[in-house]
Amino acid sequence: MKKPKSHGSGACKRSQFAKIGKGVVIEKGALFFHPENIEIGDNVYIGHYAIIKGYYRNRMKIGSGAWIGQQAFLHSAGGITIGKGVGIGPHVQVLTSSHGTAGAGTPVMSNKLEFKPVTIEDGSDIGTGAVILPGVRIGRNSIIGAGAVVTKNIPASSIAVGNPAKVIKKRK
């Protein structure tokens, strides 16, 4: 039986990132994959045991002043852009790929991967345990409630909650 190829241990040196700013705090146990495709701005916090998965293609860009909570999972196969001053709570998942839905007689894992970027604009806050699905844009200064599942774009200055997430009001 052929041994599956590993994506590595997740351990890396700061020199391996495409870009890493000043004042970046990376807590114990945080793992990074394909750091050569990850750009991190200044004064970013990455919490304990977060998994930050770059991909062999596409970029993950984390803006200055962003805060990424403990055990967050960011997978940038389709590309992720996180704006300046964005908060991402503990256990948040940001996904940019899926196995698609084609071929009812085909095992799902055999379907071709589909890639769609995710953008979280400046000043937004993603609540604990929220899930952001591929292709979503979260507008500037928006709030996503804890446990929300975001399946479509959220306009700027909105508060969205639920599964699927729905805008319940605009911020004033």
- How confident is the prediction for the chain on average, in pLDDT? 94
In a domain, 11, yes or no: no
Beta 131-132 vs 114-115: how paired, if at all?
Answer: unpaired
In a domain, 6, yes or no: no
Q: How many domains does the chain have?
A: 1
5: confidence class by pLDDT, cuts 50, 70, 90: low
Residue 101: the pLDDT is: 79
Residue 2 has pLDDT above 80, yes or no: no
In a domain, 77, yes or no: yes
Tell me, letter by letter, the H, E, C secondary structure of 65-128.
Answer: CCEECCCCEEECCCCEEECCCCEECCCCEEECEECCCCCCCCCHHHCCCEECCEEECCCCEECC
In a domain, 3, yes or no: no
Mean pLDDT of 19-39: 96
pLDDT tens-digit series, residues 60-119: 999 999 999 999 999 999 999 999 999 999 999 999 999 887 778 888 888 888 999 999
In a domain, 133, yes or no: yes
Residue 6: the pLDDT is: 67
In a domain, 73, yes or no: yes
pLDDT above 90 covers a percentage of the chain that reads 81
155: confidence class by pLDDT, cuts 50, 70, 90: very high
Longest dimension (CA), the chain: 60
In a domain, 157, yes or no: yes
In degrees and rounded to multiples of 5, residue 108 shows phi and psi of -55, -45
**Residues spanned by the domain of 71:** 17-170
Which of 7, 34, 75, 99 is an active site residue? 99
In a domain, 62, yes or no: yes
CATH of the domain at 43: 2.160.10.10
- Single pTM value for the model: 0.93
Residue 91 falls in the annotated catalytic set: no
